[in-house]
Amino acid sequence: MTAHVVVIGAGVIGVTTALELQRRGHSVLVLDRKGVAAETSAGNAGAFAFSEVEPLATPGIIRKAPKWLLDPLGPLSIPPAYALKIAPWMYQFWRSSRPDRYKDLLGAQASLMALSKTALEQLISNIDGEHLLQRDGQMQLYESEAEYRASLPTWDLRREHGIEFELLESQGAIAEKQPGLSARFTHAGFTPNWLNTVDPKLWVEHLAKAFQDRGGQIKKKEIRNLSPQDDGVRIECADEALRAAKVVVAAGAWSHLIAQTLGDRIPLETERGYNTTLPEGAFDLRMHLTFSRHGFVASKINGGVRVGGAVELGGLALPPNYKRADTLLEKAAAFLPGLKTDRGTQWMGFRPSLPDSIPVIGTSRKTSDAIYAFGHGHLGLTQSAGTAQIVGALIDGRDSPISMSPYAASRF
């Protein structure tokens, strides 16, 4: 079987990219081992977090890490069974947090965010998707004046990049926007232009339906190997072999395994994220809430509340530790008095993360016919539309809308 473009991965990056390539006139086939939104794209917090321009690899973050790592249920943890394996990745993460490197990464993150924000509005119009969005804003909460003051440089960065926000310096100002919060929260920052989807799974399914209604195909296939050919790329699946003029690898946390078959070694790891989704009526949540010091959020999903976040660097194979989800829910109950915590559904997903917090978007070092689009960490939904436009430009042989060098696979 031959297709012009094959996209590997039916999560938000893959499906959004397929839809963009289709819009540009390409014949596109999407392959995924489980189907549409069957992995991390199904259960994330549903946020388009365009204000999060600062990469995770910030100067001084390694000094904080030991304190976090001492708490196995804290905002960042590494299971002892995985500590040795992830050591090389942590070393690269530390190198990426150096001040000179951080400045470049900040610019790359901000550029991709600005492109993605504009691209999302175009996508919403293209697929008639406004009914799946919540334009309620986001509030980032602080528990003391000292914690709030320490956050101000990040708000200054947002101001420099044209992000609108309002700083709230009293409990009364916070309560006007979100009643029912614990009195422990004394300060906050409110970003009014923050967007959420009503359900990230529904969002990707809506994209997939638009793609299929316009003639695109999505098939369940497990990819075994990619190999360059004179006329494109050979794709070996579990049950058959296909050929494509171009291949886009957008398989999330499994992407580096596919890239390895081409001979590219890309240091992707997984931020295992946990959440609990509570049914409608659990709490009168007015907007997306970020509990900064604790590393988790509360978001509105289908009229209910999804409580989740934190980072567990534990790879793909270790069993889930749902005590992390329990801990986040216990904290949420303390922070949101009146939150009904019964009848919740727990979930764990794999965020595909690179040590410099910036995704790989660009061609394989082995063949220009294979294009990578993965490693977005916890910002895959946010950066999906911008990533799709970059991939589209690459396949069309046109200039990228932003500089490509920060995202190249060769940087590793």
Average pLDDT rounded to a whole number, residues 212-235: 96
Residue 298 confidence (pLDDT) above 60: yes
Q: Which CATH number fits domain 1-54+97-131+197-267+355-412: 1.10.238.10, 3.40.50.450, 2.70.210.12, 3.50.50.60?
A: 3.50.50.60
Per cent of the chain over pLDDT 90 is 84
Average pLDDT rounded to a whole number, residues 353-375: 96
Q: pLDDT by residue (tens digit) across 162-189? A: 999 999 999 999 999 999 999 999 999 9
Task: Categorize the per-residue pLDDT at 57 as very low, low, confident or very high, splitting at 50, 70 and 90.
Answer: confident
How much is the pLDDT for 62? 66
How much is the pLDDT for 67? 60
Average pLDDT rounded to a whole number, residues 293-313: 93
How much is the pLDDT for 412? 86
Q: pLDDT by residue (tens digit) across 81-109? A: 888 898 899 889 888 888 888 889 999 99
Average pLDDT rounded to a whole number, residues 279-300: 95
Q: pLDDT by residue (tens digit) across 7-55? A: 999 999 999 999 999 999 999 999 999 999 999 999 999 999 999 998 8
Residue 313 vs residue 47, higher pLDDT: 47
Residue 70 confidence (pLDDT) above 60: no
Residue 6 confidence (pLDDT) above 80: yes
Give the rounded distance of the alpha carbon of 252 from its chain centre.
9
Q: Which of 215, 248, 249, 12 has the alpha carbon at shortest distance from 116? A: 12
Q: pLDDT by residue (tens digit) across 254-263? A: 999 999 999 9
The mean predicted confidence, pLDDT, of the chain is: 94
How much is the pLDDT for 79? 84
Per-domain boundaries in the chain: 1-54+97-131+197-267+355-412
Residue 74 vs residue 389, higher pLDDT: 389
How much is the pLDDT for 50? 97
Residue 10 vs residue 58, higher pLDDT: 10
How much is the pLDDT for 292? 87
Residue 1 confidence (pLDDT) above 60: no
Task: Categorize the per-residue pLDDT at 76 as very low, low, confident or very high, splitting at 50, 70 and 90.
Answer: confident
Per cent of the chain over pLDDT 70 is 96
